[in-house]
Chain A
Amino acid sequence: MQPLLAVRELHKSYHDGEIRAEVLKGISFTVNAGEFVAIQGPSGAGKSTLLNLLGALDKPDSGTIEVDGRTITSAITEQEIDLFRRDKVGFVFQNHYLLQEFTVLENVMLPLRVQGIPKEQAMAAAAEILNRVGLGHRLQHLPSQISGGESQRAAFARAVVKKPALILADEPTGNLDSENRAKFIEVLSALQEQDQLTVIVVTHEQELAQAASRRLHLRDGQLG
């Protein structure tokens, strides 16, 4: 079976004036559809850098990334990047980044609406996923009116509502207290299993890493 994600010989370095720091020194791995992978490693190891590359938010110096049979690295046009972000990938960050002027429901509708799905249909799908993450009673609230834990679950709902091939989460529980963290992990695991989502999560936290089916360690710019 062909893997959903194939990463080959990924290199990435940052230039800070004269100093050139190589953060990723030849990363290769594959992830199959339906897998739940956790990437762990010390601070500054390059975990966020790797995740940003996987989501086409940034470009590597060399190496290739293939998602769902599509190469998203070399010679990709801006239009292809937009389409990839729109249709193939869902992000969750350490901050929820909900749009403050829109209700929870509207925030979760956005990924579908930008795909061109009509309003009613998008609303139904968004309401359904919000119900599943336990926010059925918060649809018409503004982000400022719900708790941090609820916001992060709403952000997760926004990432999965369009059923993307790949879900990328960077420290999704980093800002949460233990109770909310447990709740988030529970929701994430449940949806991952029920919908056979492919999830890659970067985390420091053992609890979240333990929920994953596979754990990768990033150290000194290499996977170990």
Chain B
Amino acid sequence: MRLSKESLERLKLSLAISYRYARGKSRYFLSLNAFLAFFGVFIGTSLLVVVMSVFGGFQTQLKKSIFQFDPHIMLTIDRITGSEKITGWPKWKELIRAGLGDDCEAVEGSIQSPAILRRRKYLDHVFVRGIDFPTSDGKNYTLPDYFPEIVEPAGSRTIPQGDFAIVGREMALSLGLSIGDSIELIVPRGQFSLTTGVTPSIRSFKIAAFFKTGHYNYDSKVVVLSLKTTQELYALPDAVQQIVVRLKDPDQLAQVKRKVAKIWPATIRTIEDEQRNFFAALRLEKTIMMVIVFLFIIAAMVGIVIATFNMVRAHRRDIGILKALGFTRQHILLIFAVTGFAMGVLGSVLGIFAGVGLANNLENVLHAIESTINFFGRLYAEHGQAYWADVRLIPRDVYYFDHLPIDIDWRLLRVLGIVSVILSILAAGIPARKASRFEPIDIIRKAEF
């Protein structure tokens, strides 16, 4: 449909009238009413984006630390303890690698088992994880890419072969361990059996490095050894307890699990089975977050409804006159809806951008606020001879992150944008539609009787 020249003129006229109404008697370019509607949406969406980004950052960080360190799919023989030995595992490993092709990053044999750690008089239960590290020169193991960051010796990616262990940073802190210190691990030897029971095996290890996943449970409880050392410790020569698979894309978990099931005849567990509660909690959090997001936008849109409604109420008489002059319902609808709609869309789009900008600089912003508060606090303390303890807005010892994690979910932002456009149409459209139904006769009668 092409717009005729006359229709275009009428459109321009309606927009001009709309703007005049939106401006009202204000000396500025917008009336307070319209500005507040815009501002409500703007503040609402930008805060929302910040909250969502921080929240998403925490979630991503948590998820990443788990996916980084834990095997994504674990194959075992018995279902209960997962400690039955798998002999001939290199054959299985090749079979599975061939079956998965490009989906997997690595397939390895592994031993993961509980153990007791002893350091002088201190005893604690820990989890030993034997990883099949590759070696390049026959003296050192090279840590694979997926292995967490080594914090001491910082940035190192090799450990010596032999009886060396890598422990988490938190464990090192709580036990006061330094590189080169010794720990002892006490584990059950070989297979459990009813006739002989459990024979313990004790062995001493030197600390080679500290790792950090960012996940407290791992960083305080896991002791990493090379697979070969672990096999010796548990007296399982040439056998492993699990075959573990790492995926290139963790989102493919369900599909890959189905592929593995065609090859592996016994128990298959995925990271989501292992951490069911954790993932359920993440999902619940996300759902609740979405609900809050929605309520947030609705609240912001109420401002638009009110502004549009006020504009209509202040111009009832005008509507009657305009209609007597031949303005159609559609023109009236446009005149009263376009301001609220523009405020809603502008508010959300600018709000989203402002939110992204704020989220990306949140640490700086928080630091600036922190220093401002502390500056005035100290000033006050000096004059009032009071004691002032500096405020810290990101207490590093409570949050286990060095940086405030920020994850901006562009897909969610797009949804947010679309939802606010739709809501803006409704918020401005509903009162405007009511306005478009006023008739001249109502206004004239009211005034003359």
Q: Which of A1-9, A64-72, A111-119 contacts B (4 or more CB under 8 A)?
A: A111-119
- Say yes or no: is A82 at the interface (Cβ < 8 Å to chain B): yes
Interface residues of A in 111-156 (CB under 8 A from B): 111, 113-119
Can you list 29 A-B pairs with a CB-CB distance of less than 8 A?
A55-B324, A57-B324, A57-B439, A57-B440, A57-B441, A58-B441, A78-B328, A82-B323, A83-B326, A85-B323, A85-B325, A85-B326, A86-B326, A93-B448, A94-B448, A97-B317, A99-B321, A99-B322, A100-B318, A101-B20, A101-B21, A101-B24, A101-B25, A110-B13, A111-B325, A113-B9, A113-B13, A115-B326, A118-B9
Inter-chain CA distance A79–B327, complex, in Å, is 10
B5 A114 Cβ-Cβ under 8 A: no
Interface residues of B in 78-121 (CB under 8 A from A): none
Given A57-B439, A101-B20, A114-B318 contact (CB < 8 Å)? no
Interface residues of A in 35-83 (CB under 8 A from B): 48, 52, 55, 57-58, 78-79, 82-83
Smallest CB–CB gap between B323 and chain A, Å? 7
Label chain B's interface by main secondary structure: helix
Smallest CB–CB gap between A118 and chain B, Å? 6
Given A113-B9, A113-B13, A97-B321 contact (CB < 8 Å)? yes
Interface residues of B in 158-187 (CB under 8 A from A): none
**Residues in chain B near residue A111, CB distance under 8 A:** 325-326
B441 A52 Cβ-Cβ under 8 A: yes
B324 A91 Cβ-Cβ under 8 A: yes
Size of the B side of the interface (Cβ < 8 Å), in residues, is: 31
Inter-chain CA distance A93–B13, complex, in Å, is 24
**Residues in chain A near residue B10, CB distance under 8 A:** 113-114, 116
Which 7 residue pairs of A and B lie closest in terms of their CB atoms, listed nearest first?
A: A86-B326, A116-B6, A116-B9, A85-B326, A113-B13, A82-B328, A57-B441
Interface residues of B in 329-346 (CB under 8 A from A): 329, 331
- Nearest A residue to B326 via CB reads A86
The listed residue (B317, B322, B326, B447) touching A87 by CB distance below 8 A is: B326
Inter-chain CA distance A55–B317, complex, in Å, is 18
Interface residues of B in 1-31 (CB under 8 A from A): 4-10, 13, 20-21, 24-25
- Say yes or no: is A95 at the interface (Cβ < 8 Å to chain B): yes
Inter-chain CA distance A221–B325, complex, in Å, is 28
Binding site for A on B (CB under 8 A): 4-10, 13, 20-21, 24-25, 317-318, 320-329, 331, 439-441, 444, 447-448
**Residues in chain A near residue B324, CB distance under 8 A:** 55, 57, 85, 91
- Nearest B residue to A107 via CB reads B321
**Residues in chain A near residue B318, CB distance under 8 A:** 99-100
- Nearest B residue to A48 via CB reads B448
**Residues in chain A near residue B322, CB distance under 8 A:** 99, 110, 114
Given A57-B444, A95-B447, A114-B7 contact (CB < 8 Å)? no
The listed residue (A82, A93, A102, A118) touching B444 by CB distance below 8 A is: A93
Smallest CB–CB gap between B225 and chain A, Å? 81
Smallest CB–CB gap between A75 and chain B, Å? 19
- Nearest A residue to B8 via CB reads A116
Smallest CB–CB gap between A1 and chain B, Å? 28
B329 A116 Cβ-Cβ under 8 A: no
**Residues in chain A near residue B8, CB distance under 8 A:** 116
Inter-chain CA distance A151–B384, complex, in Å, is 67
Smallest CB–CB gap between A158 and chain B, Å? 8
Interface residues of A in 169-220 (CB under 8 A from B): none
A114 B439 Cβ-Cβ under 8 A: no
**Residues in chain A near residue B24, CB distance under 8 A:** 101
Smallest CB–CB gap between B330 and chain A, Å? 9
**Residues in chain A near residue B448, CB distance under 8 A:** 48, 93-95
**Residues in chain A near residue B321, CB distance under 8 A:** 97, 99
**Residues in chain A near residue B327, CB distance under 8 A:** 82, 86, 114
